[in-house]
Structure 1
Amino acid sequence: MDSIQKDFVDRLEERGITINDKQLDQFENYFKILVEWNEKMNLTGITERDQVYMKHFYDSISLAFYVDLKKVGSLADIGSGAGFPGIPLKICFPHIKLTIVDSLNKRINFLKHVAESIGLENVELLHGRAEEVARKHGYRDGFDLVTARAVARMAVLNEFCLPFVKVGGQFAAMKGSNPAEEIEEAARSLKELRGALHKVHSFQLPVEESDRHIVVIDKKGPTPSKYPRKAGTASRTPLI
């Protein structure tokens, strides 16, 4: 274990998350695959090893500081891109059944390679638009926890993500800057999609001290049949 890994492990320990040598190896191999594939496709602008561990891995796992992942059986990560936060959370909490939805097939192929290479089981990787997948049996109102990291404004995200959440489950939006204005703007979408604001958690990433916010929303009732609307509609005409 080198200094970057030790710092990563120690900071997670401070938050009550312990990872073993196998999990640490999975993170290291994930990093190597990310950098290798990033040379031929645009996955991330962050490739320095210490930055990947902090700004991608630690940042992804921060969701578990505020939501008890030990009690989550199924997790859907919408618009996951290079696998954040879904893959780091799956490494830390291997019992979770992870589903990732992304609209770009080459990113799904990358994630399939990652999952196979580092030995992740119970991972489903779906190429498709969230609005279309959310209408399929088994996915609609089907997950304990749904998350999205830096994908869109809350009024749009609610329509992308809340249809996947089972009644009694939660949607957690991972944000950078203060989302107070977005949350206010999203009041109608929450009401329409049977969501209710649970809490907004605020913290700073270690070292660089950049702001992070996690917006946790409770799913209060089944998704009305008219939602989500056709692909692209939520982005063009959000429920505001």
Structure 2
Amino acid sequence: MDTTVSQFTTLLQEHHIKLEAAQLVQFEQYYTELVAWNEKMNLTGITERDQVYMKHFYDSLTLSIYVNMSEAERLADIGSGAGFPGIPLKICFPHLKLTIVDSLSKRITFLQHICDTLQLKDVTLIHGRAEDIARLTEHRDAYDVVTARAVARLSLLNEFCLPFARKGGLFAAMKGSDPAEEVREAKRSLKELRAELTKVESFTLPVEDSARHIILIRKTMETPAKYPRKAGVPAKSPLI
């Protein structure tokens, strides 16, 4: 086991996450394919191996420190890009039924390749806008945990993501810098979308010493019929 993988596994073990050899192989395959595909399409600006393991893989898995993934069955990752945090969480917690929604078809093509290469089961990849997919019966008010990583401001993210969460389910917005202003700005969207702020977890990404925040929001009732609004409208007129 080299230094990068050793550091990765040690950090996870500190949070009682133990990876089997097969899972470590999956992470290495993921890294190899990410870098290879990144040469022909823009997936990430981070390509150094130790950086990918820390800033993408470990960073994605920090969600499981604050959300009990063992109790979740259905996970939705909205605007997943190159598969973060959804794919690392699926590797670590194979029981999860993962749905990834992304608006760019070539990213979905990449993610399908990753799922095939890593032999991941129970993963649904959807090319489309979150506003449209959240209106489909099979996805609306349906997921135990919904997440998005550094996609947009919270007032906008709430309208994109909360319609996917079931009543009593959790939306976890993964952020970098202090989201205090975003949280204040998002009060109206929480009220309109029938949800409440549970907690904002703050921590520092190891080695990098960079700030991370996870905003935890509990959905209290089913999504009102008028939300989400038509694709493009929330971005032009956020609920603030």
How far apart, in 2, do the equivalents of 1:16 and 1:65 lie?
Answer: 9
1:133 aligns with 2:130: no
Q: In the alignment, residue 218 of structure 1 is paired with which amino acid?
A: R
C-alpha displacement at 1:118, in angstroms? 0.7
How far apart, in 2, do the equivalents of 1:29 and 1:13 lie?
Answer: 21
C-alpha displacement at 1:3, in angstroms? 1.1
The answer for unaligned runs of 5 or more in structure 2 is none
Number of aligned positions between the proteins: 240
Which residue matches 1:11? 11
Which residue matches 2:46? 46
C-alpha displacement at 1:82, in angstroms? 0.1
C-alpha displacement at 1:146, in angstroms? 0.1
Which residue matches 1:230? 230
How far apart, in 2, do the equivalents of 1:188 and 1:177 lie?
Answer: 22
Seq. identity, %: 64
How far apart, in 2, do the equivalents of 1:74 and 1:89 lie?
Answer: 12
C-alpha displacement at 1:208, in angstroms? 1.4
Q: In the alignment, residue 191 of structure 1 is paired with which amino acid?
A: K
C-alpha displacement at 1:66, in angstroms? 0.3
SS in 2 for 1:140: coil
Q: CA RMSD in A?
A: 0.4
Deviations 1:97-144 (A, max 9, x none): 000000000000000000000110000000000000000011000000
C-alpha displacement at 1:15, in angstroms? 1.0
C-alpha displacement at 1:16, in angstroms? 1.1
How far apart, in 2, do the equivalents of 1:216 and 1:112 lie?
Answer: 29
How far apart, in 2, do the equivalents of 1:18 and 1:192 lie?
Answer: 40
Which residue matches 2:97? 97
SS in 2 for 1:184: helix
The answer for unaligned runs of 5 or more in structure 1 is none
How far apart, in 1, do the equivalents of 2:208 and 2:176 lie?
Answer: 13
Which residue matches 2:177? 177
C-alpha displacement at 1:35, in angstroms? 0.2
Q: In the alignment, residue 181 of structure 2 is paired with which amino acid?
A: E
C-alpha displacement at 1:2, in angstroms? 1.0
How far apart, in 2, do the equivalents of 1:58 and 1:33 lie?
Answer: 17
Deviations 1:24-53 (A, max 9, x none): 000000000000000000000000000000
Q: In the alignment, residue 102 of structure 1 is paired with which amino acid?
A: D
C-alpha displacement at 1:227, in angstroms? 0.2
Runs of 4+ in 1 over 6 A off after TM superposition: none
Q: In the alignment, residue 183 of structure 2 is paired with which amino acid?
A: I
C-alpha displacement at 1:77, in angstroms? 0.1
1:146 aligns with 2:146: yes
